[in-house]
Amino acid sequence: MLDRLFVVLGALFGLAGVAAAAAAAHVTGEGNLGTAANFLLFHAPVLIAATAVMGQGLVRRGIARLAIMLIALGAILFCGDLALRALAHAPLFPMAAPTGGVVLMAGWLLLAVAALVPAGRSAG
């Protein structure tokens, strides 16, 4: 049960980190490329670790898989938009970064849920 708590706390820290980074980017309005780089760097190990945790049966597989997909999609949208704005001075599409941020936060929250729901013996 303690391992599940650590996964839940890690996921909630990720959720808070995404929200705080987004707020910081909006307060200063600069550093889009740096923010994108940081998001990619700290979400890369999350994708790997969440997959490993899923493989160990510490989280509900189906929910965790969806959480991982949401985290990846959210990072692609958020970082892609920030990078394009920094390098090409054009957005990926209107509201791409905020959409990506919300998708990222949903993924983190879903990862916490995956750790709280008994793992069971789901195939996949």
**Are the C-beta atoms of 63 and 110 separated by less than 8 Å?**
yes
Please list the rounded mean pLDDT of every run of 10 residues in the chain (124 residues): 71 78 68 82 88 90 94 93 88 96 96 88 49
**What's the Cα-to-Cα distance from 58 to each of 35, 86, 113, rounded to whole Å?**
31, 39, 12
Q: What is the pLDDT of residue 124?
A: 47
Q: What is the pLDDT of residue 2?
A: 63
Model pTM above 0.85: no
Q: What is the pLDDT of residue 81?
A: 94
**What's the Cα-to-Cα distance from 3 to each of 14, 21, 67, 76, 112, rounded to whole Å?**
17, 27, 18, 29, 12
Q: What is the pLDDT of residue 94?
A: 96
CA distance 79 to 76: 5
Q: What is the pLDDT of residue 8?
A: 79
Q: What is the pLDDT of residue 28?
A: 58
**Are the C-beta atoms of 96 and 81 separated by less than 8 Å?**
yes
Category of 94 on φ-ψ map: left (φ > 0), alpha (ψ -120 to 50) or beta: beta
Q: What is the pLDDT of residue 37?
A: 81
CA dihedral angle for residue 37, residue 43, residue 49, residue 54, rounded to 10 degrees: -150
Q: What is the pLDDT of residue 22?
A: 75
**Residue 36 structure tokens:** 């994108």
